[in-house]
Structure 1
Amino acid sequence: MFDTKVYKNRRQKLATAVKKGLMLFLGNDESPMNATANTYRYRQDSTFRYLFGINSPGFAAVIDIDNGKEYIFANDFEIDDIIWMGTQPKVKDIAAQVGVNETMPLKKLDSFLSQNIDREIHYLPPYRANNILRISNLLGIKYTYVQSKASEKLIKALVDMRSKKEAIEIEEIRKACNIAYDMHTTAMRMCHPGVSEREIAGAIEGVALSQGAGISFPIILSQNGQTLHNHSHDGILTKGRLMLTDCGAEGLTGYASDCTRTSPVGGEFTTKQKEIYSIVLKVNNTIKDLARPGETYKKLHLIACKIMAEGLKDLGIMKGDVENAVKVGAHALFMPHGLGHMMGMDVHDMEDYGEDYVGYNDKVKRSEQFGLAYLRLGRKLEEDFVITNEPGIYFIPDLINLWKSENKFTDFINYDKLNDYLDFGGVRLEDDLLITKKGCEILGDKRIPITIDEVQDCIKSGR
């Protein structure tokens, strides 16, 4: 938890932006794993934690903008709870830590809102089913309309606030990136023939847990790196293949990291692997050099695609005019995702508000073109944004065979050459960038090994 002033200032800034009415915030409850008393690891709603700093279940809050009052609704623990959990603080003491003086039992929330139902009540689109039901019951809104009636004014005000990270937030993200460094170098040192993917995935999740953190999303670790979000860890590492590892930590204050590296099993890239890897590395480094305030990430994404297409053309995999190939989306056969996204308290920051509110605006609209449509962040970059830079090249047999059967983009794609890459997998290289006054910096005290020599040396150090 940060200093009390941090949360008070955030709430005051938000109230000033929204101007009038009530703002309702529901914290997350615990989620049962297989029975109500046996729950998954608790995860607080990011907005609730951002504004109120409380990382416990059973809380709700209201900010009354018109009357300048703030309320926290929660129940004190009873002796039956304390027997199992130990001594617990009182709700009023927790509220005081974050600068809220008015507290009520949770059951009072219903009557409080009923008394104010004729006023404008702002809430965010809920993403958990129980909170959709709660808002439906609290505000008398039909269940199917709850998300569509969320307050756009509140969404836009919070996106404006949370997009530019405070110094204390940047420091927390940096800590999470340092844990990611340990996670990735551990994975590299274990990247040897005969080791199971699940053994490595378990070990690097343990690295995060051992430093008081958790994972910021389910670990992606697989020799089948052509599957973009591959959470299967059933494979046994085989010499000559590539292991793609995409993972990050969520620190004690809830801030995330998200990094990806691709490692040759056994410690030596083949010539073919070096060629593809070098293209992706060139894209990553170029975007790092170009990212700065004033540039739109959509423009940088397209620059990345052109560099990738040029590299693939040099290898005979693509052909024809590179500008036209990217214009029509032929390159997306090899990178059918966006260059990156916002990052903060959520690994895809504020995605629960709606991606287009976070990554786009009135000046930059989302494309409908395959590949480019998956770019989560297209808008102009600003100082103190934290974003990911994650280009990749993938050889997806199902997609290749589909496009080939449709004779799609035959002026730009050499399908015969692709027969040699159907078992390649994929390469992705991802860093977390802080946009600075004149450019950007990679967050973390040290960059995770990324050059061919650095990666090979790290793997070999684990023998």
Structure 2
Amino acid sequence: MFQEATYQQRRTKLKNDIKKGIILLLGNEESSMNYKDNLYPFRQDSSFLYFTGLNRPGLALLIDPEQGTEILFGDELTVEDIVWMGPQTPLRDEAAQAGLLTVQPSKALDAAIQKIQSGKRALHFLPPYRPETALKISAYLQLPTTAIAAQASVPLIKAIVAQRSVKSAEEVAEITKAVNTTAAMQLAAMQQARAGITEAALAGILQGLAVSAGGNLSFPTILTVNGQYLHNHYSDSILQPGQTVLCDCGAATAMQYAGDMTRTFPVDQQFSTRQKEIYNIVLHSYQQAVAALKPGRLFKDIHLLACAALTEGLQQIGLMKGDIQESVAAGAHTLFFPCGLGHMLGLDTHDMENLGEAYVGYTDNLKQSTEFGLKSLRLGRTLEAGFVVTVEPGLYFTPQLIDAWKQEKKLASFINYDKLEAYRQAGGTRIEEDFLITPDGYQLLGDPLPITAEGIETIRQAI
């Protein structure tokens, strides 16, 4: 946990932003895998964690901005619980570390909410993403679960997004810790990969590093020789000579702050000529995007800048043609880059995505596109000092998408389909790093990790 004052200040700001009604923040419950007592690793709701620091299941927090009161609902362990789990810090003691001095048993929450409703006071809650949370809210409000999302509080969503978007110095330090572990995972992947090993065996090494650092994975590892599929997780596929490996992984600290990095490297000691030309196009796009990071700049514009750099590189190797800006405006590049340049990073890898991209990555005046490719840009809004963002351009040669576009001759004035056939098996290449937006530009987070093709080859040649 951070210092007590951190959580008090966060809740005070929330009360100042939500002046009327009652705020209900629900923590997560334990979730069973295949029978009741076999549990998934517990993961607390990120907004609950942000305002309380309490990383245990079965908790809820009621905040009354008008009265200034804060009540935590949860139960102490019984002796029978301790037999199985061992002694734990009493809930009241842990709550006091976050400045929460009023603790009531879980069963008291029902009566508290009934009192709120009988007084006809607004109840502010966040959109649920877990079914058990939706069922709880459904019972509290006597509404079907299908109606719950529409009742979520937009003022509360906006207030939380405004707070969590700008990272404090202590948060940046925690994210940096996660990024450093992530960099160690990436380095291990490049050092341990070899022909004959499975993707799963390599991914297991990385998870071991995340756990041994005191946390766990911040998301399921994407490690694949089929990088043309954007979120293709590891399998029992065996690495073969001539292939490239796309590794997109992240560590979470014990406090759940996340890192997220990607490298693409050859199974061999060197990239082939074609692999290197593709890699260098992506690297140039990455460098162009990073150089543009600064407060006041629309991330959507930086995304389009990166797309133009990818298009320029694809023209140089003969796969695209025509005016670059017209090509990007038409979306021709999305055949090769059908996703967004990056996203917010913090307590979540896609930070606050459960609160809605319309509020996190966009604004009332800047709406998310519905066009293929651009609609997958999670972050489009103006950058501000204190944001932590990823930059991750890539090139993806997806045979199924190539065939579909070629059959209808889609945007043929910008794409050389005849030359594209030779690249059908080129897979996917992505580069990703994490950045803090500073008052005058940006700061790369974490320990340096080789990013050029030559730097990666140096690591591969040392194994």
Q: TM-score range by the shorter chain?
A: over 0.9
SS of match in other structure, 1:348: coil
SS of match in other structure, 1:432: strand
Match of 1:272 among 274, 290, 302: 274
1:178-193 correspondence runs (5 A): 178-193=180-195
- Match of 2:451, as an amino acid? I
SS of match in other structure, 2:248: strand
Aligned to 1:51: 51
Please tell me whether the aligned partners of residues 288 and 305 of structure 2 are also in contact (alpha carbons under 8 angstroms): no
Please tell me whether the aligned partners of residues 220 and 244 of structure 1 are also in contact (alpha carbons under 8 angstroms): yes
SS of match in other structure, 2:195: coil
Runs of 4+ in 1 over 4 A off after TM superposition: none
Aligned to 2:459: 458
Q: How far does residue 425 in structure 1 lie from its aligned partner after superposition?
A: 0.3
Instruction: Tell me if 1:407 matches 2:409.
Output: yes
Please tell me whether the aligned partners of residues 203 and 234 of structure 2 are also in contact (alpha carbons under 8 angstroms): no
Please tell me whether the aligned partners of residues 243 and 262 of structure 1 are also in contact (alpha carbons under 8 angstroms): yes
- Match of 1:461, as an amino acid? A
Give the superposed CA RMSD.
Answer: 0.8
Please tell me whether the aligned partners of residues 201 and 233 of structure 1 are also in contact (alpha carbons under 8 angstroms): no
Taking structure 2 as the reference length, the TM-score comes to 0.98
SS of match in other structure, 2:334: helix
Aligned to 2:206: 204
Please tell me whether the aligned partners of residues 64 and 70 of structure 2 are also in contact (alpha carbons under 8 angstroms): yes
Aligned to 1:297: 299
Match of 1:386 among 380, 385, 388: 388
Q: How far does residue 232 in structure 1 lie from its aligned partner after superposition?
A: 3.4
Please tell me whether the aligned partners of residues 311 and 333 of structure 2 are also in contact (alpha carbons under 8 angstroms): yes
Aligned to 1:13: 13
CA deviations on 1:31-87 (whole Å, 9 max, x unpaired) are 101111110111000000000000001111100111110000011111110111111
Match of 1:338 among 333, 337, 340: 340
Q: Distance in 1 between matches of 2:291 and 2:355?
A: 30
Q: How far does residue 393 in structure 1 lie from its aligned partner after superposition?
A: 0.3
Q: Distance in 2 between matches of 1:91 and 1:305?
A: 51
CA deviations on 1:349-399 (whole Å, 9 max, x unpaired) are 000001111000023221121101110000000001000000000100000
1:131-280 correspondence runs (5 A): 131-280=133-282
Structure 1: stretches of 5+ with no match in the other structure? none
Taking structure 1 as the reference length, the TM-score comes to 0.98
Aligned to 1:306: 308
Q: Distance in 1 between matches of 2:365 and 2:293?
A: 19
Q: How far does residue 419 in structure 1 lie from its aligned partner after superposition?
A: 0.8
SS of match in other structure, 1:441: strand
- Match of 2:457, as an amino acid? Q
- Match of 1:349, as an amino acid? D
Q: Distance in 2 between matches of 1:384 and 1:447?
A: 21
Q: Distance in 1 between matches of 2:14 and 2:453?
A: 46
Aligned to 1:40: 40
Aligned to 1:282: 284
Q: How far does residue 449 in structure 1 lie from its aligned partner after superposition?
A: 1.4
Structure 2: stretches of 5+ with no match in the other structure? none
Q: Distance in 2 between matches of 1:238 and 1:119?
A: 63
Aligned to 2:74: 74
Q: How far does residue 243 in structure 1 lie from its aligned partner after superposition?
A: 0.3
Aligned to 1:84: 84
Q: How far does residue 140 in structure 1 lie from its aligned partner after superposition?
A: 2.0
Total equivalences in the alignment: 461
Q: How far does residue 248 in structure 1 lie from its aligned partner after superposition?
A: 0.5
- Match of 1:329, as an amino acid? G
1:321-336 correspondence runs (5 A): 321-336=323-338
- Match of 2:248, as an amino acid? D
Q: Distance in 2 between matches of 1:23 and 1:192?
A: 53
Q: How far does residue 7 in structure 1 lie from its aligned partner after superposition?
A: 0.3
Q: How far does residue 454 in structure 1 lie from its aligned partner after superposition?
A: 0.9
Instruction: Tell me if 1:320 matches 2:305.
Output: no
Aligned to 1:447: 448
- Match of 1:89, as an amino acid? T
CA deviations on 1:306-348 (whole Å, 9 max, x unpaired) are 1100110011000111111110101100000000000100000
- Match of 2:414, as an amino acid? F
Q: Distance in 2 between matches of 1:212 and 1:457?
A: 30
Which stretch of structure 1 is more off in the superposition, 453-462 or 286-295? 453-462
SS of match in other structure, 1:146: helix
* Amino-acid identity (%): 48
